[in-house]
Structure 1
Amino acid sequence: MLLLILGLILFLGMHSARLFAADKRASFIAAKGPLAWKGMYALVSIVGFVLIIYGYGQARMSPTWLWISPVWTRHLAALLTIPAFILIVATYIPGSCIKARVGHPMLLGVKFWALAHLIANGSLADLLLFGGFLAWATALFVVSRKRDRAAGVSYGKGKPVMDAVVVVVGLVAWAAFAFYLHGAWIGVKPMGV
């Protein structure tokens, strides 16, 4: 459990630098340059991510159950991950109305993903992992939207045709993950196949 917690601190902490340490981040970039920041950001994030994966895997071996979720919550979780995938895809495909409206679709997608997994999983490790990501994404989304409004940031109008592309790619990615990759990578087959 300690490795999971340490991984979450490193990964989410690094991804929260603009939220909690904007001045220190700016000072570091001014002193050492943007490439040094990106290198450190990537290194700390990768180490944190590896610790999360390893720590969560270890915690799953002997779980501490806080609640047992009913079977139907798995189906709800599968449905909630559909908008998560669509929003995450909207982050990377420019020109969609979804990105223009949401502003930070990755963070909203992480919120859907984390909430879906919290609903369907009830161990202490699940609460730490998915609850941590949900709290982080919620806080960063609120702060980022406020920062955008204060700075007058506009994401344009977007084009409905790009929304169609985002939705199709998101659904294909969701299906690939739900029906195959989740079982192959995580060891849990959410769709039971």
Structure 2
Amino acid sequence: MTIMIIGLLIFLGSHSIRIFAENWRQQKVAQLGLPTWKLAYSAVSVVGLAIAIYGFGQMRLEPIYIWFPPMGLRHAVALLMLPAFILLVAAYIPRNAIKAKLGHPMLLAVKVWALSHLLVNGRFGDIIFFAAFLVWGILAFKAAKKRDRANPPAVTATSIPATIATVVIGVVAYALFAFHLHSLLIGVSVFG
């Protein structure tokens, strides 16, 4: 579990710079240039995520159970993950109404994903993993909204086709992940 925690500290720590050290970040961007900053930030993030995922897999080999969630909660997770995928897609499709209304759909997707997975995972390591992402998501969303209030983003016109595409792609991505990729990549069948 130590490896997972180290990975989480690296990954979520790098992603917390805008929460706790925005001025330092701005200084580094000015000093290094945005492309160099993004490259360094991405490298640290990828390394941290890889370590966290590896540690998560290792933690599952010797689980410590805190509680045993009722099987019925799996249905709640399956239901909650549908809007999480749509929110995730909304972060990337320009001019969709979901992003225009919510502002930071990626952070909302992380919060829904983490909370829903806390419902069905009773192992100590799982609780640490998903709770860390949930706490980070809450803090990052709060910080992003504070930045928006200080410097409001430009209002862009929304597009009905972009919004429909966001929902359709989100539903398709959800179906692919729920019915195929989750069991292949995570080793747990969503509906089995």
Normalising by structure 2, we get a TM-score of 0.96
SS class of match (1:152): coil
**Amino acid corresponding to residue 31 of structure 1 in structure 2:** Q
Q: Which residue pairs with 1:122 in the alignment?
A: 122
Residue of structure 1 in register with 2:8 after alignment: 8
Tell me, yes or no, if the aligned pair for 2:18 and 2:143 is still in contact at 8 Å.
no
Name the amino acid aligned to 2:165.
V
Indicate if the aligned counterparts of 1:178 and 1:190 stay in contact, CA closer than 8 A. yes
Structure 1 equivalent of residue 99 of structure 2:
99
Deviates more, 1:147-156 or 1:42-51: 147-156
Runs of 4+ in 1 over 6 A off after TM superposition: none
Q: Secondary structure at the match of 1:180?
A: helix
> Is 1:80–2:55 an aligned residue pair?
no
Q: 1-side partners of 2:145 and 2:40: how far apart? A: 26
**C-alpha contact (below 8 Å) 1:81/1:174 kept by paired residues:** yes
Q: Which amino acid aligns with 1:21?
A: A
Unpaired segments of 5 or more residues in structure 1? none
Q: Which residue of 2 aligns with 1:189?
A: 189
Structure 1 match to 2:165: 165
Alignment of 1:34-183 (within 5 A): 34-183=34-183
Q: Aligned partners of 2:75 and 2:182: how far apart in 1?
A: 15
Deviations 1:1-22 (A, max 9, x none): 1111111111011111111111
State the alpha-carbon separation in 1 of the partners of residues 75 and 61 from structure 2.
Answer: 24
What is the deviation of 1:35? 2.2
Deviation readout 1:13-67 (Å, 9 max, x if unpaired): 1111111111221221222222221121011101101111110000111111111
| Counterparts in 2 of 1:22 and 1:70: CA distance versus 1, 3 Å | same
- Aligned-pair RMSD on alpha carbons? 1.1
Contact kept in structure 2, 1:73 and 1:119, CA below 8 Å: yes
SS class of match (1:114): helix
What CA distance in whole angstroms lies between the structure 1 residues aligned with 2:184 and 2:121? 19
Partner letter of residue 108 of structure 1?
L
Gaps of 5+ in 2: none
Given that residues 103 and 155 in structure 1 are in contact (C-alpha distance below 8 angstroms), is that contact kept between their aligned partners in structure 2?
Answer: no
Q: Following the alignment from structure 1 to structure 2, what is the Cα–Cα distance between the partners of residues 81 and 103?
A: 19
| Structure 2 partner of 1:29 | 29
CA distance in 2, matches of 1:158, 1:128: 38
